[in-house]
């Protein structure tokens, strides 16, 4: 099943996010580097509204193996309850790879964003 | 006490008149989500398929059923409990909220603090800092009773015992005149904004341990006002620590008024009271790990070894925000040392754990993420002493535990009376909330 959820011009800026409801499920659609991703709005930690948090880049260790480096590529959603972090492009928890939240396939046609279920 | 309208939803309950908070929409969708996630086509990773059932439930929803067959269990959900009390609920005071509430008898220190530019007083009056920036708190600020009550209702909590946030670092105020004035202002503010004619909320009396005689006056004055149910004596930066005779006027006033001492740590108090430990930290994360439990362990030790429960046998001590895992360890270690070195604690007539059982209470948050073994929490509470454990949320701080974080892990382990005690009734007795 394919459901229309947004127009690309609503989400034209990288880092844009939109909450939608599809078949009784709350999802969020994210623009990550002009590619679109859909993630369930539900944090597996304690049930918080995951996708109502902030979409950010992430810190990593620089090539010297020591200094902080900040990657501006905004693809990490922070749960507003306890700051648990998930990569919206994969659904995986950034800090514990045994954890993940559901993601959904997204297609774009003629400026319309669809989610497949 | 008010009892919210409760809607069964994954054990959650909420007041339907206050359901505008965004997270509730998510909770209402939860049941459907649980069912559908398992068959989502786009979830293709093998571990997802393998672990989908547990992953699609919040981690706190995993239930300990290890003892279910041996106990009489009727409390199957929070809805069945009489009352849920948050024994560590916070407000988010700003310095400028409090300053105008400082009484005219402290006009001198008030004027001196007003003379500093806005916002600088956290550094110039509270002389302590942190090892690094905190993550921005993404939950709502809590500076009025309406917000606080909505927050408690959203999580199905019937009553909150309030403390400040930064004012738990009052020990870091070097000048005792400022500290005394600020304690008075904070108590006036919390009374006006949160407690007046509001039975859903109560609070600890914030005091300035720097000046015990004035602190005792503050306790005596506030104890006559409805809503003050304890004495906030923060352990962070408390020098000397709890149990010292310097604080005798405070212990006496608290005991005379039937108020427990509330010991709640702070990150800034850690820097102030344990500076060499603090200097070894490189980040807020390291300092945060050490700060709360080290402050509590130090003050639990000195209070017991110096015989505070012998000298003030009717004084209850409430230790907050360290979880439950450390309690068995602390009791065992204190008892070991008592047996080895009893001459170092001449006032004691029985092992430390016996005083802890009689005089000390512990709030549960942060329980910690216990992975695949939710029954670990129940076993820790069993060892700690369930009669001395009180649920707490820590809302609105980002380390908060909803009631289910605790309840779902212990509901299969304890009998009904014990569960009711942990989730609320023990707090009703300790803080005399009835």
Please indicate whether, in this complex, the C-beta atoms of B30 and A24 are within 8 angstroms of each other: no
Residue B360, helix vs strand vs coil:
strand
B3 pLDDT higher than 90:
no
| A117 at B interface, C-beta within 8 A | yes
Confidence bin at B322 (pLDDT 50/70/90): very high
Locate the chain A residue with the closest alpha carbon to B57. Answer: A44
Most B CBs within 10 Å: which of A102, A105, A117, as the mutation test of the B interface? A102
**What's chain A's average pLDDT?**
94
Query: Which residue did the predictor score with more confidence, B101 or A72?
Result: B101
Q: Which residues of A touch B43 (CB under 8 A)?
A: 91, 102-103
| Mean pLDDT to the nearest integer, B2-6 | 36
ipTM of this complex prediction, to 2 decimal places: 0.81
For B350-366, the pLDDT digits (tens) are 999 999 999 999 999 99
- Chain A interface disruption, residue of B11, B42, B62, B137, most A CBs within 10 A: B42
- Which residues lie below 8 Å from residue A97, measured CB to CB, with a gap of 6+? none
Of A52, A53, A102, which has the smallest distance from its Cβ to B43's Cβ?
A: A102
Residue B94: pLDDT over 80:
yes
Span B163-216, pLDDT tens digits: 999 999 999 999 999 999 999 999 999 999 999 767 899 999 999 999 999 999
User: Do B4 and B79 meet the contact criterion of CB atoms below 8 Å apart?
Assistant: no
Residue B387 has, within 13 A of its CA and on its CB side, a CA count of 5
The predicted-structure confidence for A9-48, as pLDDT tens digits, reads as follows: 999 998 999 999 999 999 999 999 999 999 999 999 888 9
Instruction: Name the residue among A44, A45, A80 with its Cβ closest to that of B139.
Output: A80
User: What mean pLDDT do residues B269-289 have?
Assistant: 94
**What share of chain B in percent tops pLDDT 70?**
80
Q: What is the per-residue pLDDT for B75?
A: 54
Q: Give B405's contacts in chain A (Cβ within 8 Å).
A: 46
The predicted model gives B406-412 an average pLDDT of: 92
Interface of A with B in 59-98 (CB under 8 A): 78, 80-83, 91, 98
Confirm or reject contact between B49 and chain A (CB < 8 A).
no
B34 vs A: CB within 8 A:
no
Higher-confidence position of B74 and B310: B310
Contact status of B122 with chain A (Cβ, < 8 Å): no
Confidence of residue B79 (pLDDT cuts 50, 70, 90): confident
Mean pLDDT of B130-144: 78
pLDDT band at residue B368, thresholds of 50, 70 and 90?
Answer: confident
What CA–CA distance (Å, rounded) separates B217 from B250? Answer: 9
CB < 8 Å to A54, chain B: 138
| A27 vs B contacts (CB less than 8 Å) | none
pLDDT, residue B415, reads 94
pLDDT (average), residues B57-86: 62
What percent of chain B stands above pLDDT 90?
71
Q: How far is A13 from chain B (nearest CA, A)?
A: 23
Q: Cβ contact (<8 Å) for B37 and A40?
A: yes
Residues A25, B32: C-beta atoms closer than 8 Å:
yes
Sort B104 into a burial class: Cβ within 10 Å, 0-12 / 13-18 / 19+. exposed
Q: Does A11 touch chain B (CB under 8 A)?
A: no
- Scanning the structure block, which residue is given the tokens 């009703």? B428
Tokens 């360290």 belong to which residue?
B322
Question: Taking the model in full, what pTM does it have?
Answer: 0.85
CA–CA dist A113, A107 (Å, integer)? 6
| Residue whose pair of structure tokens reads 């002389």 in the numeric block | B127
> Minimal Cα–Cα distance from A41 to chain B, Å?
7
CB within 8 A of B205, min separation 6: which ones? B187, B218, B219, B222, B223, B228, B230, B231, B232, B259
Helix (H), strand (E), coil (C) string for B128-149: CCCCCCCCCCCCCCCCCHHHHH
Give the C-alpha separation, A101 to B288, whole Å: 28
Considering only CB atoms, which chain A residues are within 8 Å of B26? 26, 41-42, 47-49
Q: How confident is the model at residue B162 (pLDDT cuts 50, 70, 90)?
A: very high
Report how far apart the first and last C-alpha atoms of chain B are (Å, whole number): 8
């Amino acid at each position: 099943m394919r459901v229309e959820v947004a127009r690309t011009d609503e989400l034209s800026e990288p880092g844009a996010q939109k909450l939608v409801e599809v078949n009784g499920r709350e999802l969020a659609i994210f623009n990550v580097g002009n590619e679109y991703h859909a993630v369930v709005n539900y944090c597996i930690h304690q049930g918080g509204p995951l996708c109502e948090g902030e979409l950010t880049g992430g810190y990593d260790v620089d090539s010297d193996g020591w200094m902080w480096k900040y990657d501006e590529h905004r693809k990490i959603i922070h749960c507003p309850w306890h700051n648990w972090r998930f990569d919206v492009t994969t659904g995986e928890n950034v800090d514990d790879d045994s954890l993940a939240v559901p993601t959904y396939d997204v297609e774009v046609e003629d400026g319309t964003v669809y989610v497949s279920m | 006490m008010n009892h919210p309208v409760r809607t069964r939803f994954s054990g959650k309950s909420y007041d339907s008149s206050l359901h505008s908070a965004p997270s509730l929409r998510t909770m209402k969708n939860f049941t459907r989500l649980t069912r559908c996630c398992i068959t989502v086509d786009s979830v293709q990773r093998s571990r997802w398929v393998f672990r989908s059932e547990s992953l699609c439930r919040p981690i706190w929803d995993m239930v300990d059923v290890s003892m279910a067959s041996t106990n009489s269990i009727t409390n199957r959900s929070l809805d069945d409990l009489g009352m849920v009390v948050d024994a560590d609920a916070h407000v988010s005071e700003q310095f400028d909220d409090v300053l105008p509430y400082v009484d005219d008898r402290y006009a001198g220190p008030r004027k001196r603090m007003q003379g500093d530019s806005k916002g600088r007083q956290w550094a110039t009056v509270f002389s302590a800092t942190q090892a690094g920036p905190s993550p921005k708190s993404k939950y709502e600020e809590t500076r009025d009773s309406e917000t606080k009550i909505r927050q408690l209702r959203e999580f199905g909590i019937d009553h909150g015992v309030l403390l400040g946030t930064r004012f738990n670092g009052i020990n870091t105020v070097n000048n005792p005149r400022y500290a005394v004035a600020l304690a008075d202002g904070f108590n006036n503010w919390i009374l006006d904004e949160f407690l007046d004619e509001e039975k859903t909320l109560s609070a600890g009396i914030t005091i300035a341990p720097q000046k015990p005689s004035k602190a005792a006056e503050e306790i005596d004055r506030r104890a006559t006002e409805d809503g003050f149910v304890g004495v906030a004596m923060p352990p962070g930066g408390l020098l000397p620590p709890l149990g010292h005779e310097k604080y005798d006027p405070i212990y006496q006033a608290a005991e005379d008024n039937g108020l427990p001492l509330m010991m709640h740590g702070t990150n800034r108090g850690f820097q102030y009271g344990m500076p060499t430990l603090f200097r070894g930290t490189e980040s807020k994360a390291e300092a945060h790990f050490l700060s709360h439990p080290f402050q509590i362990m130090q003050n639990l030790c000195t209070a017991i070894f110096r015989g505070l429960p012998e000298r003030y046998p009717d004084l209850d001590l409430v230790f907050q925000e360290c979880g439950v895992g450390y309690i068995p360890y602390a009791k065992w270690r204190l008892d070991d040392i008592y047996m080895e070195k009893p001459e170092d604690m001449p006032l004691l007539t029985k092992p430390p754990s016996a005083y802890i059982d009689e005089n000390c209470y512990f709030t549960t948050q942060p329980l910690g993420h216990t992975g695949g073994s939710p029954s670990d929490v129940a076993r820790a509470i069993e060892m700690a002493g369930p009669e001395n454990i009180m649920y707490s949320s820590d809302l609105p701080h980002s380390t908060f535990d909803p009631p289910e974080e605790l309840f779902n892990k212990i509901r299969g382990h304890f009998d009904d009376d014990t569960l009711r005690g942990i989730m609320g009734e023990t707090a009703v007795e300790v803080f005399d909330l009835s």
